[in-house]
């Protein structure tokens, strides 16, 4: 049954139709393309406003009719912004204690003029006498609302049809090509059958990483955190490609705010909650209005960011978020670093010969423990549900931190009603693991001084913990110690051969 688009979508289509009319008769460009090109100049090459004013004036003079051309840069901006997809600016406290914003239900901080927690002012001080000026916020973050962006995907004829790919192409023979073939996805759909029956519902991934926008110019570190969304409904060739990644928050620096990142995610989580209950959307491929529901299925991070988003700190001895407190890491006596040596034997089968070997692993130790238990999401939820959130007033360290657990907070993602039914909530990036692994092995084998893991201290440690005759430090005749060549490092000419 075909329906007319809802009011909001219809308005957008009308605007688009109007914007797509050619500039003048037999012109190759439409009105919209001209506006966008003008704005692209600004964003691509960072041209001054005055220069853009000049260009638009120039165009006006050249064109045969000038009714459809933007009169100025401001004019072009105004016309394009009518098409939606705005960016919001949300003021925040200088010390990142809170955001000044209303979420429509229980939070009304939009009108406050100083921070609730640290009482620092929201705006810059005015000079006396110019009080009629608009106040300038000390710090602000950008939030690009996600709801209209997802709705827009269903408004486009090319994309809307592809959004049900995951539903039409289910594999059954144990081959995994797409996140929709795997256990976590299927589990979620088993728990929420009403969500699973509507193929147009969207599954999202969230990615976040810090980067420094002023690479060349600055020597002071500045860490800015973009939060990017990607829908997993699309077929493999479109999934995770550039047009289908949406920037959603831009969290300003200059410091990395560690666990406090949750404060900036608040508007996003509010939107996600709204999306879970459903938002009326028009699907042009089926020509129907439907209630679009959206879930966040996982987040993608590197290792430090994992700690920030999940709440399980990734520092120290308890860094591994899977093994949690069952980890067998220890601190090296000489090297002073945490070490995961000999914590892999427990994953072997019970009768494996390595488990009883007292010589090649840790001196005189046999391994009898089984692998650490894999916690279900509900078990994790039971652990964290009593911990304070970062947004709660008077947050303190949780008892026993770094001793028997590594929880720093209850992550804001637990506010999502479905988060405890996600098997795979946070995801580590294999790329980084591979890179670090490679660096360690490569530098050790090539014997790069300063980077190799096989230095004097490592040799002393290996003496302490294992029986390795060949790795012991030997003394020269003059009393100085030296490091005999190990069988895993290459000799000088072999290194040259590698290069």
320 makes contact with another protein (CB under 8 A) = yes
Q: CB under 8 A: which stretch of 42-50, 82-90, 94-102, 327-335 binds another protein?
A: 327-335
Looking only at the bridges linking them, the beta strands covering 140-143 and 88-91 are antiparallel
Of the candidates 225, 226, 232, the residue with the CA atom closest to the CA atom of residue 248? 226
Of residues 147 and 339, the one with the C-beta less far from another protein: 339
240 makes contact with another protein (CB under 8 A) = yes
34 makes contact with another protein (CB under 8 A) = no
d(CA 281, CA 150): 9
Q: Are 193 and 201 in contact (CB under 8 A)?
A: no
**Tokens encoding 442:** 């490569």
283 makes contact with another protein (CB under 8 A) = no
Half-sphere exposure of 425 (CA within 13 A, CB side): 24
236 makes contact with another protein (CB under 8 A) = yes
CA 435 to chain centre: 19
140 makes contact with another protein (CB under 8 A) = no
Interface with another protein (CB under 8 A), residue from 201, 295, 406, 444: 444
d(CA 298, CA 265): 15
462 makes contact with another protein (CB under 8 A) = yes
Interface with another protein (CB under 8 A), residue from 335, 388, 415, 418: 335
436 makes contact with another protein (CB under 8 A) = yes
Ramachandran category for residue 302: left, alpha or beta (phi over 0 → left; psi -120 to 50 → alpha): beta
d(CA 187, CA 180): 10
Q: How far is the CB of 174 from another protein (least distance, A)?
A: 4
Of the candidates 230, 214, 41, 37, the residue with the CA atom closest to the CA atom of residue 146? 230
Contacts of 51 (CB under 8 A, 6+ apart): none
Of residues 63 and 184, the one with the C-beta less far from another protein: 184
d(CA 173, CA 97): 50
Of residues 94 and 360, the one with the C-beta less far from another protein: 360
Interface with another protein (CB under 8 A), residue from 119, 133, 242, 480: 242
482 makes contact with another protein (CB under 8 A) = no
385 makes contact with another protein (CB under 8 A) = no
Of residues 51 and 176, the one with the C-beta less far from another protein: 176
Q: CB under 8 A: which stretch of 99-107, 267-275, 281-289, 419-427 binds another protein?
A: 419-427
Interface with another protein (CB under 8 A), residue from 354, 358, 375, 485: 354
Binding mask 152-181 for another protein (x = CB under 8 A): ----------------------xxxxxxxx
Interface with another protein (CB under 8 A), residue from 114, 403, 439, 472: 439
Kindly identify the residues of this chain, within the stretch 243-272, that bind another protein according to CB under 8 A.
245
Q: How far is the CB of 5 from another protein (least distance, A)?
A: 32
The DSSP annotation for 444-495 comes to HHHT-TTT-S-SHHHHHHHHHHS--GGGS-EE-TTS-EE-PPPTTSPPHHHH
Q: How far is the CB of 437 from another protein (least distance, A)?
A: 6
d(CA 85, CA 248): 11
Contacts of 427 (CB under 8 A, 6+ apart): 298, 299, 300, 301
Kindly identify the residues of this chain, within the stretch 202-231, that bind another protein according to CB under 8 A.
205, 207, 209, 228
Of residues 55 and 339, the one with the C-beta less far from another protein: 339
Q: How far is the CB of 314 from another protein (least distance, A)?
A: 8
Interface with another protein (CB under 8 A), residue from 24, 192, 290, 341: 341
Q: How far is the CB of 488 from another protein (least distance, A)?
A: 5
d(CA 199, CA 375): 30
Q: CB under 8 A: which stretch of 112-120, 332-340, 375-383, 384-392 binds another protein?
A: 332-340
DSSP state of 24: S
Of residues 73 and 232, the one with the C-beta less far from another protein: 232
- 3-state secondary structure at position 246: strand
Of residues 117 and 401, the one with the C-beta less far from another protein: 401
d(CA 259, CA 60): 52
- 3-state secondary structure at position 303: helix
232 makes contact with another protein (CB under 8 A) = yes
325 makes contact with another protein (CB under 8 A) = no
d(CA 298, CA 323): 19
């Amino acid at each position: 049954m075909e329906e007319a688009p809802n009011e909001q979508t219809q308005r957008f289509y009308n605007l688009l139709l109007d914007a797509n009319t050619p500039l003048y008769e037999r012109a190759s460009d439409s009105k919209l393309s001209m506006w966008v090109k003008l704005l692209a100049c600004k964003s691509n090459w960072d041209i001054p406003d005055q220069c853009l004013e000049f260009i638009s004036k120039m165009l006006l003079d050249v064109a045969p009719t000038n009714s459809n051309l933007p009169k100025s840069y401001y004019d072009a901006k105004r016309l394009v912004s009518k098409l939606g997809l705005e960016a919001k600016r949300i003021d925040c406290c200088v010390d990142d204690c809170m955001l000044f914003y209303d979420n429509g239900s229980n939070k009304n901080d939009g009108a406050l003029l100083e921070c609730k927690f640290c009482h620092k002012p929201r705006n810059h001080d005015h000079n006396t006498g110019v009080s009629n000026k608009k106040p300038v916020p000390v710090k602000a973050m950008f939030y690009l609302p996600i709801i209209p962006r997802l709705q827009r995907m269903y408004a486009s004829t090319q994309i809307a049809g592809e959004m049900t790919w995951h539903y039409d192409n289910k594999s059954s023979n144990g081959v995994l090509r797409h996140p929709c073939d795997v256990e976590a996805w299927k589990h979620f759909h088993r728990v929420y059958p009403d969500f699973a029956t509507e193929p147009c519902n969207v599954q999202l991934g969230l990615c976040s990483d810090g980067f420094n926008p002023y690479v060349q110019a600055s020597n002071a570190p500045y860490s800015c955190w973009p939060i990017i969304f990607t829908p997993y409904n699309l077929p493999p060739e479109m999934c995770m490609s550039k047009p289908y990644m949406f920037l959603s928050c831009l969290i300003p620096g200059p410091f990395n705010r560690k666990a406090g990142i949750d404060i900036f995610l608040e508007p996003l989580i509010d939107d996600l909650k709204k999306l879970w209950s459903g938002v009326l959307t028009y699907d042009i491929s089926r020509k129907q209005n439907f209630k679009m529901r959206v879930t966040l299925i996982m987040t993608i991070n590197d290792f430090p960011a994992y700690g920030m988003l999940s709440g399980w700190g990734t520092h120290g001895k308890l860094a591994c978020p899977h093994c949690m407190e069952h980890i067998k890491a220890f601190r090296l006596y000489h090297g002073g670093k945490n070490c995961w040596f000999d914590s892999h034997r427990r994953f072997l089968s019970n009768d494996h010969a390595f488990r009883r070997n007292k010589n090649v692993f840790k001196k005189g130790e046999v391994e009898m423990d089984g692998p650490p238990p894999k916690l279900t999401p509900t078990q994790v939820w039971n652990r964290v549900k009593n911990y304070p959130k970062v947004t709660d007033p008077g947050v303190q360290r949780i008892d026993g931190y770094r001793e028997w657990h590594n929880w720093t907070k209850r992550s804001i993602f637990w506010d999502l009603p479905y988060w405890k039914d996600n098997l795979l909530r946070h995801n580590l990036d294999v790329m980084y693991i591979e890179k670090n692994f490679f660096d360690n092995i490569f530098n050790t084998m090539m014997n790069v001084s300063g980077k190799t893991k096989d230095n004097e201290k490592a040799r002393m440690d290996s003496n302490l913990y294992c029986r390795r005759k060949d790795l012991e430090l030997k003394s020269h005749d003059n009393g100085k110690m030296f490091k005999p060549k190990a069988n895993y490092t290459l000799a000088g000419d072999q290194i040259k051969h590698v290069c």
